[in-house]
Structures are given as structure tokens and as C-alpha cells.
Amino acid sequence: MLTDRKDEHLSVVLGKRHRISGKSTGFEALDFVHCALPEICLDDVDVTTSFLGKRISAPLLVSSMTGGPARAVSINENLARACEVLKLPFAVGSQRVAIEEGGAGGLSRSLRTLAPSVPILGNLGAAQFNRGYGVTEALKAVEMIDADALYIHLNPLQEAVQPEGDRDWRGLFEKIVTVADSLPVPLAIKEVGSGISAALARRFVDAGIAIIDVAGAGGTNWAAVEAARMDDPDRARLANAFADWGIPTARAIWQARAACPDATIIASGGVRNGIDIAKAIRCGADLAGQAAALLDAANSSPDSLIRHFETTIEELRVTCFCTGSADLSALKSAELLQTDAP
């Protein structure tokens, strides 16, 4: 049943049968001031950075997409191959199916063989820690793919509208912190498209969890994805009522950075291109994550992914050039117009 549900999720997103959130990311309300005389060389623009102790070619993370169904094997392998070529980090989808049903869905040490030099992040759902998961399962998720860090994803809205969803979220904060204290690698927190508030981000950072993926509203809305796979019209109507729910991505970045000045902030949720990545960096993110924007390419081939990434990175570099920013540090202070400040 779990594998079937993950497969349905893939079909819905690939088939574009869900509503993209009617709520904007907030990026369209932000405009860089064009620099007509940059006085730098485009070829010298440096967008490299470091993440989890490894040098990467751009502040671009392949965000969590899929784990479990058989067709996820080729998707995960394509991602690993492309990320290794371009030196980009990637996060796998939920490893729950691999842990509970034994079908790895491509989530095995073969990923590390395909991508030996880039950061890889594992992934488990927070709700599972109220269903018997603990340090043992978290360690298994890390060891399964030789991960550099482990995402714990927060998806209360998706679970609430999903007929088979997990509704008991009591006491999860302390359980997550206990897992974080016991892992040999960093633990990271992410939402799945409704955003993480500044207060919750600060609470995690104070507890020693310093990687926060805000995953804001404006991209794929998982309540709408769930609605698209429902036969019950009343349940679908309930889910669709929340299609515009959440904190816009740009606002979530601004607020998380203000609340957590020393944390690693990852921006995901409706990041469409290199210009959005540049805006996310300017808002305070260290990296930006893409998922739905590259799923078609990931379902095709490593070459398709490489072309997507190369174009996206070049868009980021041109944005740097046209703001007079020689590197990401300079981009963080590039002049920005806010027509509707988040």
C-alpha cells in the first residue's frame, strides 16, 4: 500500500494533475537592480560554495523527490550520475518504503558508488517517530546510502488530508532532538511545501539542529497532490481547500535568516530557475533546492538532468554578472527592489 501511494504521487506530479499552489513564492515581487556596468568578467564569476564539508559547483540542491516504487530506481540513479558530474548535492526521497518493505527503490549504497564525491542526504518523515521509529531506523537510513546528513521532513498538512495519514504528532520535537544527538552525521529539518516559521526554525537551532530547509509555499502543494489521487469527492474537496496554504518561500527565507543568523538555510518551494536561486541567496539562503522543476528530466536521463542543471547554473551566473556580483558573497548584498516586501 505504501509503495502504491508513492507511485501514485509520482504519477500525479509527472502528469501535472495537481494544482500548483495558488499562493506565490514571493520571488516575483523581488527585482534585482540591473547593473549596466558590472566591471567584472562573466567567465570569472564564482558560484561555488561548500556544504556538509564538501565543495560544490553551485548553491543548488536536488531536493527530496521520490523513494520506494520500482521506477524510482532509474530516477535516483539518474540524479546520482548527474550530480556527480556537476558536483551538486542531492537529497533522496523518503526511505520509509526501503526500511519497512525492503524495496530500496534505488536507495542503496549504489548511489554512493555513482556519486562518491558529493553530499547525499537521507530522508525520513517526522511522523514515523510516533510509529515506532527511533535512532535505529535513523541510523539505518544513513547507512543505507552512506549519507552525509539526514533530513527529517515535516508534512502535517499532507498527513492531515491523506486518508491513510499519520495524525498523531505529539511529542515529536523531543524525539527528533534525541535522534539528532545520536547520529554520526548532521540532522536537517525540512518542510515539504508549507514553510517553516521563524519561531520553529529558532527552536530547532537552539536544540542543536542547524540545517533548516524552509520549503515554502509557491511550488507543489501536497494537499493538492493528495486531492488528485482521491476517489472520494468530499475528501478531495477538503484537501483542495488547503491548496493555497503556507508561508511563501521568500518570506520564510527572510524570517528564518533573521531568527537564525548562524544556521544553514536551504530555500526550496517553487524555485524555478537560476534567477530564483539568486533571489533566494539574496534573501538569506545558503542553498536553494529544486524538485518538481527537474522531475521530468530526472525521469528521462542523466544527460537531460545535466542540461537542466547547466542552464540553471548559467542563469545564476548571469544574474550575478548583471548585478555586479563576482561571487555569492557579493550577491548577498546586491541591490534589491521589493515591490511587495515579504
Confidence of residue 18 (pLDDT cuts 50, 70, 90): low
DSSP result, 246-297: S-BHHHHHHHHHHH-TTSEEEE-SS--SHHHHHHHHHHT-SEEEESHHHHHH
pLDDT at residue 106 tops 80: no
Confidence of residue 107 (pLDDT cuts 50, 70, 90): confident
- Distance from C-alpha of 178 to C-alpha of 194, rounded to nearest angstrom: 25
- Distance from C-alpha of 52 to C-alpha of 148, rounded to nearest angstrom: 7
Q: In 3D, which of 161, 23, 41, 143 has the Cα closest to residue 95? A: 143
Full-model pTM: 0.92
Could you write out the three-class secondary structure of 74-110?
A: HHHHHHHHHHHHHCCCEECCCCHHHHHHCCCCCCCCH
Half-sphere exposure (CA, 13 Å, Cβ side) for 216? 29
Q: In 3D, which of 135, 228, 130 has the Cα closest to residue 184? A: 135
Fold of 2-338: TIM Barrel (3.20.20)
Domain boundaries, the chain: 2-338
**Segment (H or E) for 2:** helix 2-14
- Distance from C-alpha of 130 to C-alpha of 29, rounded to nearest angstrom: 40
pLDDT at residue 73 tops 90: no
Q: Please count the residues of the chain.
A: 342
Q: Classify residue 192 by its DSSP letter.
A: S
Grid coordinates standing for 301? 536521463
Cα→Cα distances 16→12, 184, 291, 297, Å = 6, 39, 14, 14
Q: In 3D, which of 275, 290, 309 has the Cα closest to residue 218? A: 290
pLDDT in tens, 109-131: 899 999 999 999 999 999 999 99
Residues 6+ apart with CB under 8 A from 253: 214, 216, 265, 267, 280, 283, 284, 285
- Distance from C-alpha of 330 to C-alpha of 184, rounded to nearest angstrom: 34
Confidence of residue 255 (pLDDT cuts 50, 70, 90): very high
Q: According to the model, what pLDDT value does residue 342 have? A: 45
pLDDT in tens, 24-39: 999 999 999 999 999 9
Confidence of residue 68 (pLDDT cuts 50, 70, 90): very low
- Distance from C-alpha of 64 to C-alpha of 80, rounded to nearest angstrom: 13
- Distance from C-alpha of 122 to C-alpha of 144, rounded to nearest angstrom: 9
Q: What are phi and psi of 124, to 5 degrees?
A: -135, 150
